[in-house]
Structure 1
């Protein structure tokens, strides 16, 4: 192998590494968005329950249930 061929191989390898890096970063962002979505979908109903549950219990107590 001469020096010119070695340089071409290194350039190709660097291009492939850059493509892999971009793919990994894109995948990391997808995982982050999925995690954020899961957290929001878990806590949003809990926050809604904080407001709905007292009203619900008040309505039930009006019927003599509690």
Structure 2
């Protein structure tokens, strides 16, 4: 996918260049790909929530909102 289209997709998802973004997924593995692409595009300041929903969901004291 062309870099410009990737950038547009990230911006549409709410990623703002230069601002801190936390990436997460089910386990933390797939989110790494997003962080790599963000770095390549110069969006920077990405952080990984290691463990993702798999880790978060096992802690019953943490809030989870469902739609």
TM range (shorter): under 0.3
TM-score by length of 1: 0.24
Answer 1 or 2: higher relative contact order, Cα 8 Å, separation at least 6. 2
- The structure whose residues are more often strand, as a share, is 2
Q: TM-score, normalised by structure 2?
A: 0.23
Which structure has the highest helix share of the two?
Answer: 1
Higher-Rg structure is 1
